[in-house]
Structure 1
Amino acid sequence: MIAERLTEAGYRVIQKGSGSDGFARAITEQSDIILLDLMLPETDGINFLSELRTNGEWGKNVPIVIISSLMPDEKLKENAQILRVRIH
């Protein structure tokens, strides 16, 4: 639903079905922003984010919006500063 709305608004949206596919595409495309779910096939959003933040200058600085139905867990809270995440 989010991808559909963004496309209708004129944004180019790239969706991937798994964490590993999404990570590879994110590195290749170096998008302006990433919308990330915490629950991903093959990995979880925390690992995805951790790997991304250690992958060069772009990975350290790209804005990431976490969209999830999960409440922030302790792992995310503990690593929020390291992963450059603000919890709202």
Structure 2
Amino acid sequence: MTTSRWKVILTLFEEGDTNITKLSKKCSMRYDVLRSEIDFLEKKGIVEVISGESRAKVIRLNYSNPKVIILKDLIEEVKDIFE
């Protein structure tokens, strides 16, 4: 998994549902790069894109995907180790 995909996933875990413009700023990523990563993660079922205008689309983690729950648990465990 690429570093930019991890940034997107971690930011969504921390921020919750957010629009693509805010996510771009939080991840320090250009819009076109972020859009590409979101498209990839959406195809894998990791994120969902909720309707909205182009840059106002809301992105959220797909908690109906068991892999997202596993990722969430792993991230929480890793944070506990380093805190």
Same structural fold, with TM-score higher than 0.5 when normalized by the shorter chain: no
More helix by share: 2
Query: RCO greater where, 1 or 2, for CA within 8 Å and sep 6 or more?
Result: 2
- Using the size of structure 1 for normalisation, the TM-score is 0.30
- Using the size of structure 2 for normalisation, the TM-score is 0.31
